[in-house]
Structure 1
């Protein structure tokens, strides 16, 4: 047997022989043949050596779902809402026509195309917990809960859902809840008009918010409290009777009035001292545009063409 050659190291011959005598190599053992009887035996616990790497978040851990109520979420979302923020991403899915419901579908599509309103619903959806009890008509904010449910159905899928969605040939359309349509038909009969439905929907959401226990966080002091009672009054005269009229902006007290409405209150003061008040709440100013019959035009071009006679 050839003696091993020491290539490096400051060892004597005796030290080298001593090290070689006690050194041994652990050869890998062959696995034992499988036996079905081993399944009934208790498994040996693994060695309790600490793992060299412990992830901060274990793989497969589900994040805690939001549990905030809709009433509490409204105040926080309205305070943080940026009216100039770009619209959140939603899936491009149509709405099923459930029998002459095109007026309802186009109304919801128009509202969801409005970035502030869409972002409001998306932020509420991310903060609110389970709202499965939306069918209870005695609960508060029922209309808003239906809208949050709709946004969650249109919400962008997570990475885990991407694989399933990519297999689809096209996105399936959404079936809208009949909640708003039933209320609209009970109040307005069977007349199907998109403009009337939009007015009804915004008014219903406004009243729904007012009837809840929510406190609108962006209410500003009334102009009447900061100015003199005679400031802003204009004297008018009709049939020889002098009077004065005053216009002031109504306080914003709901998300609908904050995003869509510019309400105006008019008070008529007769010289005899009797005050006549009148308030007209206009949900929005409807702008009727004339579309060209032949050439295509942009929205700004149609607005300019509509205002040409007055300008």
Structure 2
């Protein structure tokens, strides 16, 4: 059996949900400001990204993590395929039936997804370099990162917070599709004014995860102003998303992306306009 050499840090099943009718993706490289067409199999991936070189010399299977991630992705794909089918037919305030085990599986997936990307690897390496004053090479970066992903205590803490959050789905019936990126789990500040990137969750921040070009999931902590959202738990939001609201959520993918923002169309004008404003409050809504 051929070993999987190209390891995706964003699952292909997720990327396919943002593809066009031909199954292809449009990618905007925000570093080079270049737009190109690609496939779900050819983006957000690197060779041997999860290879466990630290255990290989002792005879352990170096592809154990890649196989574990693949198994998890299969479960998540089945569960969320059903959700998406229901959500595209539901009326506002209809509730998605979510068994406890499925909630745990998806919460764990969100926790792992936020940790498994190239962005996290680069951030972790930068933190280590800053702390000790010497650079981290590619092998050490891989080993530091895979140990972080395999930290079950850390994953469970994140998953526990997401599992206990108020989950609200919103459907996008506007002319503007949701986009995704090579770092798709986004976080917004409690006052909605900032997108946040950190290996520690900011108290009160909430998770924004576009599940497809037409559906987004919000996970709000049950604290402060979000307590009142409990009545909408697991429901399709009554809020009708317009193009501006979708573009606002898409800006989170521009902020989070290491490099690539991905869509089912070649129009990235709004994303390009937002990118230079990162670090400012130009697009922040009024303070409340």
Range of TM-score over shorter length: under 0.3
Greater percentage in helix = 2
* Greater gyration radius: 1
Q: If the length of structure 1 is used for normalisation, what is the TM-score?
A: 0.23
Q: If the length of structure 2 is used for normalisation, what is the TM-score?
A: 0.24
Structure showing greater relative contact order (alpha-carbon pairs closer than 8 Å, 6 or more residues apart) = 2
Greater percentage in strand = 2
